[in-house]
Amino acid sequence: MIRFIHAADLHLDSPYIGLKELSVQIADQVKESTFQSLENIVEQAISHQVMFVLFSGDIYDLEDRSIKAQIRFRQQMERLRKHSISVYLIHGNHDFIASKSDHLSLPSNVKVFSPAVETEYIETDKGETIAVSGFSYDKRWIDKRMISEYPVRGKQVDYHIGMLHGYEEGQNSDHGRYAPFSLNELISKDYDYWALGHIHKRQMLSSEPPVYYSGNTQGRHKNEAGEKGCLLVELSQSGKQIQFISTAPVIWDRLTVDASMEGSLNSIYEHIKKEMASLPERNILLNLVVSVSPDLKNQILKKIKQAEFTEALHIYADSYFVHITSVKIKIKSSEGESVSLAELFPEEWDKSISHFLLSDPFYNETSELLSAHPFSKELKEPSERYRKEIVDSAVTLLKQDLGSIEGD
């Protein structure tokens, strides 16, 4: 039996997206969250006495790798070395291998795979042979089907594990289509486990053989909500066990509150506070959606939209916080549906939104702004999901500016 941890997409020292002003204390915890998650992974590896840890790409957020991120990662790998735990690491599209002259070296227990697919062999105390195959990106864009270069499991191997930072064809995802592969191609290699990286949502592609994206280890924006962490894997000749372990010190969450029966500012406030009290006592970055009555006085509606109202809802306890990152106010019609400006000008409204969701009109309106960004040359063409998110945000701001029925 072998036991190991599979983690990916740590994005150490990555900035958070979509956050408003934070207190110094909370800001420090948020900045430390990717590092704390790494420390928690190492703690789990030590406490479960694993044989090795797999990091399936994007350990760092950028190719240049901040000194802080490199030092913190190196320190944690040294902890694993002291407990005789090996590490197998591949680099992905974010932290691809370029110049090594400005990178810190890693302890001897860490094996970094080269840009060519290679296989490492491990001998267990019981004389079993484990093979680990993988490769690291040497540039940001890898569109080659690297899976074709992975070897088929050899007869002399007791366990064969594949590490791959790539995109499964057919997935409904906005992640870049790097190193594409199909599930059938993975299965054809006859491996005992596939440790995948690149997709930030934890998911099982196959149970036999086990093929898993472990997801990223710390959510960084509202679209990466929920528990994040790593997978503890046990393989034996008689079966396998895969267990998710939460390691993220901060999670993104969403809370929908129906306050449509409340008619005063105080009753709405108390209703929201009561609903928030049911949240788990842990660090949460919260997206709050509140439905209110169409008969609510306009002056109350304006106060709910103010930043002071949101600030009064934050929870700052001794051991945890719940910080509201956005508040969306929805006004219900008598049928319980949200009223929108689309009801007033349906044809014009739909036509305008559809127009700007298209690639060319969106690009024409945003190209000057996007090209001004210092990293614009690294940006790929905005995806459909990205365009929709920007248009949705514009719609929300427009409604709010017009004093309408929905706002953030």
- On whether both 163 and 38 belong to a single domain, the answer is yes
CA distances from 63 to 14, 137, 252, 289 (A): 12, 11, 26, 37
Please tell me the least confidently modeled range out of 108-112, 271-275, 334-338.
334-338
Average pLDDT over residues 210-236: 95
pTM of the entire predicted model: 0.81
What is the domain count for the chain? Answer: 3
Q: Using CB atoms within 10 Å of the CB of residue 211, give its burial: 0 to 12 exposed, 13 to 18 middle, 19+ buried.
A: buried
Q: What is the DSSP string of 178-211?
A: -S-B-HHHHHHTT-SEEEEES--S-EEEEETTEE
Q: Count of CB atoms within 10 A of residue 96's CB?
A: 22
Task: pLDDT band for 403, please (50, 70, 90 cuts).
Answer: very low
- Both tokens of 399, joined, read 């409604």
- On whether both 258 and 319 belong to a single domain, the answer is yes
* Helix, strand or coil, per DSSP, at residue 323: strand
* Helix, strand or coil, per DSSP, at residue 185: helix
- On whether both 67 and 202 belong to a single domain, the answer is yes
- Both tokens of 120, joined, read 């490492």
> Which residue bears the tokens 């895969």?
242
- On whether both 137 and 267 belong to a single domain, the answer is no
Please tell me the least confidently modeled range out of 24-28, 125-129, 360-364.
360-364
Task: pLDDT band for 380, please (50, 70, 90 cuts).
Answer: low
8 Å CB contact between 113 and 89: yes
Whether 345 shows a pLDDT value over 70: the answer reads no
Over residues 154-210, the pLDDT tens digits come to 889 999 999 999 999 876 555 557 899 999 999 999 999 999 999 999 999 999 999
Residue 47's φ and ψ, nearest 5 degrees, are -65, -30
Q: Count of CB atoms within 10 A of residue 97's CB?
A: 17
Question: In 295-373, where do the E strands start and end?
Answer: 315-316, 321-331
Residue 336 lies in a domain: no
> Domain containing 168 — which CATH number?
3.60.21.10
Q: What is the mean pLDDT of the chain?
A: 87
> Which residue bears the tokens 């990916």?
8
8 Å CB contact between 179 and 142: yes
Looking at residue 211, its pLDDT comes to: 98
pLDDT cut 90: percent of the chain above it: 62
Residue 293 lies in a domain: yes
Residue-number span of the structural domain to which 256 is assigned: 251-331
Q: Count of CB atoms within 10 A of residue 67's CB?
A: 12
* Helix, strand or coil, per DSSP, at residue 27: helix
8 Å CB contact between 247 and 40: yes
Residue 346 lies in a domain: yes
- On whether both 315 and 207 belong to a single domain, the answer is no
CA dihedral 94, 100, 101, 102 (to 10 degrees): 30
> Which residue bears the tokens 């427009």?
398
Residues 6+ apart with CB under 8 A from 101: none
Over residues 55-82, the pLDDT tens digits come to 999 999 876 678 999 999 999 999 999 9
Over residues 117-140, the pLDDT tens digits come to 999 999 999 999 999 999 999 988
Residue 159 lies in a domain: yes
Kind plus residue range of the DSSP H or E element containing 174 = none
